[in-house]
Protein backbone atom coordinates (compact mmCIF):
# COMPACT_ATOMS: atom_id res chain seq x y z
CA UNK A 1 0.00 0.00 0.00
CA UNK A 2 2.64 2.49 1.05
CA UNK A 3 4.83 1.63 -1.92
CA UNK A 4 2.11 2.09 -4.55
CA UNK A 5 0.89 5.33 -2.91
CA UNK A 6 4.31 6.98 -2.91
CA UNK A 7 5.24 6.21 -6.53
CA UNK A 8 2.79 8.67 -8.14
CA UNK A 9 3.73 11.33 -5.62
CA UNK A 10 7.42 10.76 -6.30
CA UNK A 11 6.86 11.02 -10.02
CA UNK A 12 4.91 14.26 -9.57
CA UNK A 13 7.66 15.78 -7.44
CA UNK A 14 10.34 14.68 -9.92
CA UNK A 15 8.33 16.02 -12.87
CA UNK A 16 7.76 19.35 -11.11
CA UNK A 17 11.45 19.63 -10.29
CA UNK A 18 12.48 18.91 -13.88
CA UNK A 19 9.96 21.45 -15.21
CA UNK A 20 11.23 24.06 -12.76
CA UNK A 21 14.83 23.48 -13.82
CA UNK A 22 13.89 23.57 -17.52
CA UNK A 23 11.85 26.74 -17.05
CA UNK A 24 14.69 28.47 -15.23
CA UNK A 25 17.20 27.38 -17.84
CA UNK A 26 14.94 28.57 -20.66
CA UNK A 27 14.26 31.89 -18.92
CA UNK A 28 17.99 32.43 -18.38
CA UNK A 29 18.73 31.66 -22.05
CA UNK A 30 21.42 34.03 -23.37
CA UNK A 31 19.15 34.63 -26.37
CA UNK A 32 16.47 36.15 -24.10
CA UNK A 33 14.12 37.64 -25.07
CA UNK A 34 12.81 35.26 -27.72
CA UNK A 35 9.35 36.86 -27.87
CA UNK A 36 7.65 40.21 -27.09
CA UNK A 37 7.88 41.53 -23.52
CA UNK A 38 4.94 43.02 -21.63
CA UNK A 39 5.47 46.22 -19.61
CA UNK A 40 2.59 46.64 -17.17
CA UNK A 41 1.64 50.14 -16.02
CA UNK A 42 -0.68 50.11 -12.97
CA UNK A 43 -2.12 53.52 -13.91
CA UNK A 44 -4.34 54.87 -16.67
CA UNK A 45 -3.19 55.70 -20.18
CA UNK A 46 -2.24 59.31 -20.87
CA UNK A 47 -0.62 60.06 -17.51
CA UNK A 48 3.08 60.48 -16.69
CA UNK A 49 3.68 56.83 -15.76
CA UNK A 50 2.09 55.66 -19.00
CA UNK A 51 4.00 58.16 -21.13
CA UNK A 52 7.31 57.35 -19.44
CA UNK A 53 6.61 53.63 -19.95
CA UNK A 54 5.97 54.08 -23.68
CA UNK A 55 9.18 56.06 -24.19
CA UNK A 56 11.12 53.46 -22.20
CA UNK A 57 9.44 50.50 -23.95
CA UNK A 58 10.27 51.87 -27.41
CA UNK A 59 13.91 52.40 -26.48
CA UNK A 60 14.20 48.95 -24.87
CA UNK A 61 12.61 47.31 -27.92
CA UNK A 62 15.44 48.62 -30.10
CA UNK A 63 18.10 47.23 -27.80
CA UNK A 64 16.48 43.89 -26.90
CA UNK A 65 15.53 42.99 -30.46
CA UNK A 66 11.97 42.20 -29.41
CA UNK A 67 8.93 44.43 -29.05
CA UNK A 68 8.25 45.71 -25.54
CA UNK A 69 4.56 46.63 -25.37
CA UNK A 70 2.73 48.60 -22.68
CA UNK A 71 -0.36 47.24 -20.95
CA UNK A 72 -2.35 49.54 -18.62
CA UNK A 73 -4.01 48.03 -15.55
CA UNK A 74 -5.23 51.03 -13.49
CA UNK A 75 -7.11 51.13 -10.20
CA UNK A 76 -6.83 52.00 -6.49
CA UNK A 77 -3.56 53.93 -6.58
CA UNK A 78 -1.80 51.28 -8.63
CA UNK A 79 -2.75 48.40 -6.35
CA UNK A 80 -5.02 46.56 -8.80
CA UNK A 81 -2.49 46.29 -11.60
CA UNK A 82 0.40 45.57 -9.24
CA UNK A 83 -1.49 42.73 -7.53
CA UNK A 84 -2.27 41.21 -10.93
CA UNK A 85 1.35 41.62 -11.99
CA UNK A 86 2.69 39.66 -9.01
CA UNK A 87 0.80 36.60 -10.28
CA UNK A 88 2.58 36.66 -13.66
CA UNK A 89 5.39 34.16 -14.33
CA UNK A 90 8.89 35.25 -13.18
CA UNK A 91 10.37 34.59 -16.62
CA UNK A 92 11.44 38.07 -17.75
CA UNK A 93 8.52 38.51 -20.13
CA UNK A 94 6.54 40.69 -17.71
CA UNK A 95 7.94 43.99 -16.39
CA UNK A 96 6.24 46.55 -14.15
CA UNK A 97 6.99 50.25 -14.50
CA UNK A 98 5.70 51.83 -11.33
CA UNK A 99 6.26 54.52 -8.75
CA UNK A 100 6.73 55.12 -5.03
CA UNK A 101 3.05 54.47 -4.30
CA UNK A 102 2.80 50.75 -5.12
CA UNK A 103 6.40 50.09 -4.08
CA UNK A 104 6.45 51.92 -0.72
CA UNK A 105 3.70 54.31 0.36
CA UNK A 106 0.61 52.22 -0.39
CA UNK A 107 1.73 49.54 2.03
CA UNK A 108 1.38 52.11 4.81
CA UNK A 109 -1.95 53.57 3.64
CA UNK A 110 -3.97 50.56 2.49
CA UNK A 111 -4.88 47.67 4.78
CA UNK A 112 -5.40 45.23 1.90
CA UNK A 113 -3.02 45.66 -1.02
CA UNK A 114 -3.43 42.21 -2.51
CA UNK A 115 0.36 41.86 -2.67
CA UNK A 116 3.51 42.39 -0.60
CA UNK A 117 5.95 44.71 -2.39
CA UNK A 118 8.88 43.49 -0.32
CA UNK A 119 8.23 39.79 -1.00
CA UNK A 120 6.49 39.71 -4.38
CA UNK A 121 8.51 42.24 -6.38
CA UNK A 122 12.17 42.23 -7.38
CA UNK A 123 13.83 45.58 -8.23
CA UNK A 124 15.54 45.95 -11.61
CA UNK A 125 16.40 49.63 -12.05
CA UNK A 126 15.44 53.18 -11.20
CA UNK A 127 14.30 55.11 -14.30
CA UNK A 128 13.42 58.75 -13.47
CA UNK A 129 12.10 61.39 -11.10
CA UNK A 130 8.99 63.29 -12.27
CA UNK A 131 8.02 66.20 -9.96
CA UNK A 132 4.42 67.32 -9.38
CA UNK A 133 2.90 70.79 -9.17
CA UNK A 134 -0.03 72.68 -7.63
CA UNK A 135 -2.31 74.54 -10.05
CA UNK A 136 -5.70 76.22 -9.77
CA UNK A 137 -8.55 77.23 -12.06
CA UNK A 138 -8.41 80.98 -12.92
CA UNK A 139 -11.57 81.50 -10.86
CA UNK A 140 -9.66 80.73 -7.65
CA UNK A 141 -8.51 84.05 -6.10
CA UNK A 142 -4.95 82.94 -5.41
CA UNK A 143 -1.70 83.63 -7.26
CA UNK A 144 0.58 81.92 -4.75
CA UNK A 145 0.57 79.14 -2.17
CA UNK A 146 0.30 81.72 0.62
CA UNK A 147 -2.79 83.23 -1.00
CA UNK A 148 -4.27 79.77 -1.59
CA UNK A 149 -3.78 78.85 2.07
CA UNK A 150 -5.41 82.11 3.13
CA UNK A 151 -8.38 81.42 0.83
CA UNK A 152 -8.74 77.86 2.16
CA UNK A 153 -8.69 79.12 5.75
CA UNK A 154 -11.31 81.77 4.95
CA UNK A 155 -13.61 79.18 3.30
CA UNK A 156 -12.86 75.85 5.00
CA UNK A 157 -15.66 73.84 3.35
CA UNK A 158 -15.65 75.40 -0.10
CA UNK A 159 -12.75 73.82 -1.97
CA UNK A 160 -11.82 70.42 -3.38
CA UNK A 161 -8.69 69.18 -5.12
CA UNK A 162 -8.19 66.68 -7.92
CA UNK A 163 -5.46 64.05 -8.03
CA UNK A 164 -4.46 61.16 -10.24
CA UNK A 165 -6.00 58.65 -7.85
CA UNK A 166 -6.10 57.44 -4.27
CA UNK A 167 -2.65 56.68 -2.91
CA UNK A 168 -0.81 58.35 -5.80
CA UNK A 169 1.95 60.90 -5.25
CA UNK A 170 -0.45 63.64 -6.40
CA UNK A 171 -3.01 62.60 -3.79
CA UNK A 172 -0.34 62.55 -1.14
CA UNK A 173 0.95 65.96 -2.27
CA UNK A 174 -2.50 67.44 -1.58
CA UNK A 175 -2.88 65.71 1.76
CA UNK A 176 0.58 66.83 2.84
CA UNK A 177 -0.29 70.46 2.06
CA UNK A 178 -3.53 70.10 4.02
CA UNK A 179 -1.65 68.73 7.01
CA UNK A 180 1.24 71.20 7.01
CA UNK A 181 -0.94 74.28 6.35
CA UNK A 182 -3.80 73.08 8.58
CA UNK A 183 -6.46 73.64 5.91
CA UNK A 184 -9.42 71.69 4.57
CA UNK A 185 -9.96 70.42 1.01
CA UNK A 186 -12.09 67.54 -0.23
CA UNK A 187 -10.10 65.01 -2.24
CA UNK A 188 -11.52 64.06 -5.68
CA UNK A 189 -9.56 61.08 -7.07
CA UNK A 190 -9.38 60.35 -10.79
CA UNK A 191 -7.86 57.58 -12.85
CA UNK A 192 -4.72 59.48 -13.73
CA UNK A 193 -3.83 63.07 -14.61
CA UNK A 194 -5.35 62.60 -18.05
CA UNK A 195 -8.76 62.27 -16.40
CA UNK A 196 -8.39 64.89 -13.66
CA UNK A 197 -7.07 67.87 -15.64
CA UNK A 198 -10.03 68.32 -18.06
CA UNK A 199 -12.36 68.68 -15.07
CA UNK A 200 -10.09 71.26 -13.46
CA UNK A 201 -9.78 73.19 -16.71
CA UNK A 202 -13.57 73.04 -17.00
CA UNK A 203 -13.98 74.44 -13.50
CA UNK A 204 -15.69 71.39 -11.96
CA UNK A 205 -12.78 71.03 -9.50
CA UNK A 206 -10.88 74.22 -8.59
CA UNK A 207 -7.49 72.86 -7.49
CA UNK A 208 -5.27 70.13 -8.90
CA UNK A 209 -2.13 68.37 -7.73
CA UNK A 210 -0.72 66.86 -10.92
CA UNK A 211 2.50 65.87 -12.61
CA UNK A 212 4.34 68.79 -14.20
CA UNK A 213 4.42 66.73 -17.41
CA UNK A 214 0.61 66.66 -17.66
CA UNK A 215 -0.16 70.05 -16.05
CA UNK A 216 2.43 72.34 -17.64
CA UNK A 217 0.72 72.75 -21.02
CA UNK A 218 -2.47 73.98 -19.35
CA UNK A 219 -0.45 76.44 -17.26
CA UNK A 220 1.53 77.64 -20.28
CA UNK A 221 -1.70 78.26 -22.21
CA UNK A 222 -3.26 80.21 -19.32
CA UNK A 223 -6.05 77.68 -18.79
CA UNK A 224 -4.71 77.00 -15.29
CA UNK A 225 -2.58 79.05 -12.91
CA UNK A 226 0.54 77.27 -11.66
CA UNK A 227 1.31 78.12 -8.04
CA UNK A 228 4.23 75.91 -7.06
CA UNK A 229 6.15 72.70 -7.70
CA UNK A 230 6.16 70.02 -5.01
CA UNK A 231 9.86 69.12 -5.17
CA UNK A 232 12.43 70.62 -2.82
CA UNK A 233 14.22 72.36 -5.71
CA UNK A 234 12.79 74.35 -8.60
CA UNK A 235 12.33 72.51 -11.89
CA UNK A 236 14.49 73.63 -14.87
CA UNK A 237 11.54 73.48 -17.30
CA UNK A 238 9.60 75.97 -15.12
CA UNK A 239 12.30 78.07 -13.43
CA UNK A 240 9.93 80.91 -12.52
CA UNK A 241 7.54 78.67 -10.57
CA UNK A 242 8.56 78.50 -6.89
CA UNK A 243 8.53 75.41 -4.71
CA UNK A 244 5.87 74.87 -2.05
CA UNK A 245 8.67 74.93 0.54
CA UNK A 246 9.89 78.38 -0.44
CA UNK A 247 6.28 79.60 -0.62
CA UNK A 248 5.77 79.30 3.11
CA UNK A 249 5.67 75.57 3.98
CA UNK A 250 9.29 74.93 4.88
CA UNK A 251 10.33 71.30 4.50
CA UNK A 252 7.53 70.39 2.09
CA UNK A 253 8.87 67.86 -0.44
CA UNK A 254 6.90 65.35 -2.48
CA UNK A 255 8.59 64.08 -5.64
CA UNK A 256 7.40 61.03 -7.59
CA UNK A 257 10.04 58.52 -8.66
CA UNK A 258 9.73 55.65 -11.13
CA UNK A 259 11.42 52.31 -11.67
CA UNK A 260 11.13 48.84 -13.16
CA UNK A 261 10.51 45.69 -11.13
CA UNK A 262 9.78 42.05 -11.99
CA UNK A 263 8.05 39.19 -10.15
CA UNK A 264 10.22 37.68 -7.42
CA UNK A 265 12.05 34.62 -8.66
CA UNK A 266 13.10 36.06 -12.01
CA UNK A 267 16.56 34.58 -12.87
CA UNK A 268 19.63 36.70 -12.18
CA UNK A 269 20.90 36.68 -15.79
CA UNK A 270 17.61 38.25 -16.90
CA UNK A 271 17.76 40.85 -14.11
CA UNK A 272 21.27 41.79 -15.21
CA UNK A 273 20.32 42.01 -18.88
CA UNK A 274 17.29 44.18 -18.16
CA UNK A 275 19.25 46.43 -15.80
CA UNK A 276 22.07 46.91 -18.32
CA UNK A 277 19.56 47.60 -21.09
CA UNK A 278 17.82 50.27 -19.01
CA UNK A 279 21.21 51.82 -18.14
CA UNK A 280 22.01 52.05 -21.87
CA UNK A 281 18.62 53.62 -22.54
CA UNK A 282 18.86 56.18 -19.72
CA UNK A 283 22.28 57.41 -20.85
CA UNK A 284 21.19 57.77 -24.49
CA UNK A 285 20.83 61.45 -25.49
CA UNK A 286 17.49 60.96 -27.29
CA UNK A 287 15.89 59.27 -24.26
CA UNK A 288 17.23 61.89 -21.86
CA UNK A 289 15.91 64.65 -24.09
CA UNK A 290 12.43 63.10 -24.11
CA UNK A 291 12.36 62.67 -20.32
CA UNK A 292 13.67 66.16 -19.68
CA UNK A 293 10.95 67.47 -22.00
CA UNK A 294 8.52 65.83 -19.55
CA UNK A 295 10.22 67.83 -16.76
CA UNK A 296 11.74 64.56 -15.59
CA UNK A 297 15.20 63.67 -14.31
CA UNK A 298 16.45 60.33 -15.79
CA UNK A 299 18.54 57.97 -13.69
CA UNK A 300 19.46 54.27 -13.76
CA UNK A 301 20.75 51.88 -11.09
CA UNK A 302 21.74 48.26 -10.61
CA UNK A 303 19.11 45.94 -9.08
CA UNK A 304 20.88 46.08 -5.71
CA UNK A 305 21.13 49.87 -5.79
CA UNK A 306 17.43 50.20 -6.60
CA UNK A 307 16.54 47.76 -3.80
CA UNK A 308 18.61 49.81 -1.33
CA UNK A 309 16.98 53.04 -2.53
CA UNK A 310 13.47 51.61 -2.04
CA UNK A 311 14.33 50.51 1.49
CA UNK A 312 15.82 53.93 2.27
CA UNK A 313 12.50 55.55 1.26
CA UNK A 314 10.39 53.55 3.72
CA UNK A 315 11.22 55.56 6.89
CA UNK A 316 10.63 58.85 5.03
CA UNK A 317 7.21 57.81 3.71
CA UNK A 318 6.22 56.23 7.01
CA UNK A 319 6.84 59.52 8.80
CA UNK A 320 5.08 61.57 6.12
CA UNK A 321 2.02 59.35 6.20
CA UNK A 322 1.84 59.23 9.99
CA UNK A 323 2.25 63.02 10.26
CA UNK A 324 -0.45 63.68 7.67
CA UNK A 325 -2.82 61.06 9.08
CA UNK A 326 -3.64 59.52 5.69
CA UNK A 327 -5.46 56.17 5.90
CA UNK A 328 -7.40 55.01 2.86
CA UNK A 329 -8.91 51.71 3.98
Which pLDDT tens digit goes with each residue over 169-211? 888 899 889 989 999 999 999 888 888 999 999 999 999 999 8
Residue 45 CA to residue 192 CA, distance in Å, equals 8
- Strand-pair category, 37-41 with 68-72: parallel
**For 223-260, what is each residue's pLDDT tens digit?**
999 999 998 888 888 899 999 999 999 989 888 899 99
Task: Please give the pLDDT value at position 256.
Answer: 86
Cα distances from 247 to residues 109, 216, 242, 266, in angstroms, run 28, 19, 7, 46
DSSP for residue 252: -
Architecture in CATH for domain 31-329: 3-Layer(aba) Sandwich (3.40)
Give the three-class secondary structure for 257. Answer: strand
Q: Give pLDDT < 70 ranges for the chain.
A: 1-28, 324-329
Task: Please give the pLDDT value at position 329.
Answer: 61
177, 252 Cβ separation under 8 angstroms: yes
Task: Please give the pLDDT value at position 133.
Answer: 95
Which residues lie closer than 8 Å to 118 by C-beta, 6 or more apart?
A: 107
3, 11 Cβ separation under 8 angstroms: no
Strand partners, 128: 258, 298
Q: Structural domain boundaries of the chain?
A: 31-329
Nearest to 131 by CA among 275, 57, 40, 242: 242
Task: Please give the pLDDT value at position 2.
Answer: 42
Task: Please give the pLDDT value at position 45.
Answer: 87
pTM: 0.77
Task: Please give the pLDDT value at position 63.
Answer: 96
Residue 168 CA to residue 134 CA, distance in Å, equals 14
Helix 303-324 × helix 169-181 angle, to 10°: 40
Q: Which long-range contacts (CB under 8 A, 24 or more apart) does 230-233 make?
A: 230/131, 230/132, 230/133, 230/134, 230/173, 230/254, 230/255, 231/129, 231/131, 231/132, 231/255
Helix 48-64 × helix 285-293 angle, to 10°: 170
Task: Please give the pLDDT value at position 276.
Answer: 97
Amino acid sequence: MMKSTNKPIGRLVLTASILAIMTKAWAADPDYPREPVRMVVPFAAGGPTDTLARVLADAMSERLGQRVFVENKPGVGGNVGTAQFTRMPPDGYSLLLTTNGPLVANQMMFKNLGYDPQKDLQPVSFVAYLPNMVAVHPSVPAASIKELIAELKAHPKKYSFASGGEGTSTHFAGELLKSMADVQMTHIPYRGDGASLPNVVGGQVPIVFGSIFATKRFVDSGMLRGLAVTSLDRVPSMPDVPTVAESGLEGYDLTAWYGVVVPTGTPEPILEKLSKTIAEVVTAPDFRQKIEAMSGIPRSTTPDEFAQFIESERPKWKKLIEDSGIQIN
